[in-house]
Amino acid sequence: PGVAEKLSIDYETCRKLNPRLLYLNAASYGDSGPDCRRPAFYAIAAANGGSQMRQAGEGHPRPGSEALPMDELKDEAWRLLKAAEWNADPIAALGSATALLLGLHARDRSGEGQELLTSMLCSNMYANSDELIDYEDRPEPPRVDRDLLGLGPLYRLYEAAKGWVFLACLRRHEWEAFCNAIERPGLIAKWETQDDALADEIAAILRTREADEWERVLAKHDVPLASVEMRDPGRFCLEDETMRELGHMVEVESPTYGTYLRHGALQTFSDETLTFGPWEPLGGHTRSILSELGFDQAAVERLIDESIVEAWTPA
């Protein structure tokens, strides 16, 4: 708070230049209150918004964690770190995107722009609104189990003969399809109980085949089960042929490092032609932006020579 005003880029100053401006302040804790000046990190927002506790697993954080032996303390810290990977940053981005869309809709109706405010804290609280909104006879939200495998026997990870699978039978007809596909119709009635004993039965069954085989077989019966990708996301994106076939990874030529893979488009538009270039070095757009702003070439080069701006020059 106060920095935008100090730099004369606050909303009141900017709206004089463009009354239709949508001015978004994507804050950490808001623009007022006792925490408004605190720095934020995604793990802090995940903890404050309830996500970290929700993802840590049943029985965690353990009471008296500070007195645990070092090896157990490290395990507990790892668990809590992974629980924060809910990830508070993308959730905050969704909150900001939603605010901008609402602002655009309001501007279409009124013709006027306005100042918008979001916070990482509130966006993450919205993500856990089933717990943050309390009322009489509110059902208890599902909890991640102690082993961090899932939310219950029908929605969790299972180890296969090779690899892992994720079973996601959220509806009774999906559970019935699974039971019939594995030729165990007697399990259908256990939809009502969904206890640890059922998880043990399913685990024993799924250990009899490899993960990819289970995925192929059960897909024919419309069972929501998928083989788990064992590579980390970066390796998967770079190495998986499907990512290239779908255009999610594309080859580009860097003027300094040659050919490499970069991410493609996550969204496409029917009336737009997309182009993909290499990464931009520091100052790579300086000349083009200053030119668009009306600076002639001599003025641009003077700003560069006097180290007022940074510009990249190809070798």
- Domain CATH number, residue 163: 3.30.1540.10
Residue 143 lies in a domain: no
Domain range enclosing 184: 150-227
Q: What's residue 86's pLDDT?
A: 66
pLDDT digits (tens, 9 = 90+) for 290-310: 999 999 999 999 999 999 999
Residue 131 lies in a domain: no
* Confidence grade of residue 231 (pLDDT, cut at 50, 70, 90): very high
Say if residue 176 is in the same domain as residue 69: no
How many domains does one find in the chain? 4
CA 9 to CA 5: how far, in whole Å? 6
The answer on 87 and 188 residing in a single domain is no
Residue 298 resides in a domain: yes
Q: Is the pLDDT of residue 33 over 70?
A: yes
Residue 45 falls inside a structural domain? yes
What is the pLDDT of the chain when averaged over all its residues?
92
Instruction: Give yes or no for a contact between 122 and 95, defined as CB atoms under 8 angstroms apart.
Output: yes
Q: What pLDDT score was predicted for residue 83?
A: 76
* Residue 147, pLDDT score: 87
pLDDT score recorded for residue 314: 77
User: Within a domain: residue 134?
Assistant: no
Per-residue pLDDT tens for 3-17? 999 999 999 999 999
- Final residue of a structural domain among 193, 227, 261: 227
Q: For 255-297, how does the pLDDT look when each residue is reduced to its tens digit (9 = 90+)?
A: 888 999 999 988 888 888 888 999 888 999 999 999 999 999 9
pLDDT in tens, 144-200: 898 889 999 999 999 999 999 999 999 999 999 999 999 999 999 999 999 999 999
- Amino acid identity at 284: G
Distance CA 25, CA 115 (A): 8
